[in-house]
Amino acid sequence: MTKVDVLLGLQWGDEGKGKVVDVLSQDYDIVARFQGGANAGHTLEIDGDKHILHLIPSGIFHENKINIIGNGVIIDPYILRKEIISLRHKKIDASRNLYLSKKAHLILPSHRLLDAAYEFSKGNLKIGSTLKGIGPAYTDKTARNGIRLGEIFYSGFYDLYKALKDQHMRIISMLDWDYKGFQLDGVPYEEYESQWFESTEMLKHFRIIDGEYFINQCLNENKTILAEGAQGTMLDVEFGTYPYVTSSNTVCAGVCTGLGVAPGRVGKVFGIAKAYCTRVGSGPFPTELNDPTGERMRMKGNEYGSTTGRPRRCGWLDLVALRYAIMLNGVTGLIMTKADVLSGFKLLKICTRYRRNNEVTDVFPYGIQHENFTPVYEELNGWEQELQSLGSYEEAPQAFKEYVKFIEEEVRVPFIQISTGADRKQIFKIRQVL
């Protein structure tokens, strides 16, 4: 019996999941998203051509792989249609191999308005949401007000839609936020709404399935499945830097509820981390560098959000957060991305502990947003050589190998792959997949 392997982010998102899933999916029959929505932006570079996926799993560029949007994902039909159309321009016909779970909830245009209204009402305490409607749609799901994709086939769909939209509008008027003139992805609300309905019509021609049965059947037939995480562990609603998090379970446990697989059917867990850290949006980030070094990382790593274009905050690698993420997910193999970005830094720092007053801790602290925790750093030598065109790990500079070894010894999980550029070819295996 096969198991579902998982690839997920160990930091604050944007670790390079899209790129690595594209590479790993060669070895799988199926790639499945299990949580999040179009707040994700997963970038793939294939022969110099760049693609950003928001909802569609990153296995879509492999013609013969099935790609599933699982029940734990929330779908904005408008954005999904746009994505399907943009793939069509690249000669990828998603209708052949994209499957959608009936139980995935829908993001209504008014969820997006509500997202903006809540952010507005929070003032300085805003989360820095991508404004894709994620928080309000997951809220409606757990409050049992949500609408699932499968409803589009039933006659009461429009009434459900109208009742929920009216409720949203009542809340928005209470929040005293004037949405007139507010555009959704540059489109006026009414137009967005009308295209949203057209999109639900289009989706009727896709394979809308009982995802949980389908996936378990595939496992029984020994098909191989890779679950693709969105966001990152430090944005998990339960364990991340709450309230500066997203609204889903980004950790491995989310695979079970987000696809309908039992815990015993989860196999390898690949955890992906950049060679340093980034974060987009508000919230604690202990190793953040608000200085020329951070700016240099942003420039060299081209650290601008794939979904919103916002500059990403940059900082040194944080092993307190990384150990925590490895523990929560049961990571069996690590993957490092953006190793190339650190070439040319004379000295590199890695945070191994936090200090608060006279106390030093290796626990990711509950009160991180209230109290001042400063990172305790180890310093390592940098390397000059560019890594982008490295043919194998053996050719890498010694200082880089020391950097890798230092992390492995600190977190006690080995690296299995290292990525040294955005293109799908710029990655090498350093160990057998564990």
Residue 237 site contact among ligand IMO, ligand GDP, Mg ion, none (CB < 5 to 8 Å, cut-off depends on kind): none
Residue type, 350: I
For the bound state, the minimum distance from the C-beta of residue 132 to ligand GDP, rounded and expressed in Å, comes to 14
Considering the candidates 42, 51, 54, 168, report the single residue annotated as catalytic.
Answer: 42
Residue recorded with tokens 């008027």: 173
Distant-in-sequence contacts of 241-244, Cβ < 8 A, 24+ apart: 241/283, 241/284, 241/368, 241/369, 243/127, 244/127, 244/128, 244/281, 244/282, 244/283, 244/284, 244/369
Q: Given the DSSP bridges, would you call strands 4-9 and 225-228 parallel, antiparallel or unpaired?
A: parallel
42 tagged catalytic: yes
Task: Decide whether 164 or 317 has the Cβ nearer to ligand GDP.
Answer: 317
Name the strand (E) or helix (H) holding 429.
strand 427-429
Catalytic residue flag (residue 205): no
Decide if residue 306 touches Mg ion (CB under 5 A).
yes
- Give yes or no for residue 13 binding ligand IMO (CB under 6 A): yes
How many angstroms separate the CA atoms of 214 and 180, rounded? 43
Amino acid at 16: G
Site residues for ligand IMO, 68-127, by CB under 6 A, read 127
Tokens describing residue 348? 């590199």
Q: Is 22 in the site for Mg ion (CB under 5 A)?
A: no
**Per CB under 6 A, 231 contacts ligand IMO:** yes
Which residues contact ligand GDP (rule: CB under 6 A)? 9, 13-19, 40-43, 45, 301, 306, 337-338, 340-341, 419-422
User: Strand 347-356 vs strand 374-381: parallel, antiparallel, or unpaired?
Assistant: antiparallel
Which among 14, 22, 76, 236 is annotated as catalytic?
14
The pair of structure tokens assigned to 365 is 């602290």
Q: Is the peptide bond before 243 cis (omega within 30 degrees of 0)?
A: yes
14 vs 76 by CB, closer to ligand GDP: 14
Q: Which residue is nearest to ligand IMO, using beta carbons? A: 281
Q: Taking the complex as a whole, how short is the minimal distance between the CB of residue 132 and Mg ion, in angstroms? A: 12
Among 16, 109, 136, 281, binds ligand IMO (CB under 6 A): 281
Decide whether 42 or 168 has the Cβ nearer to Mg ion.
Answer: 42
3-state secondary structure 327-388: HHHCCCEEEEECHHHHCCCCEEEEEEEEEECCEEECCCCCCCCCCCCEEEEEEEECCCCCCC
Q: Which stretch binds ligand IMO (CB under 6 A): 129-137, 171-179, 191-199, 379-387?
A: 129-137
Catalog residues that contact ligand IMO under the rule CB under 6 A: 9, 13-14, 39-42, 127-130, 132, 134-135, 230-232, 235, 246, 280-281, 306
Q: Which residues are catalytic?
A: 14, 42
Catalog residues that contact Mg ion under the rule CB under 5 A: 14, 41, 306
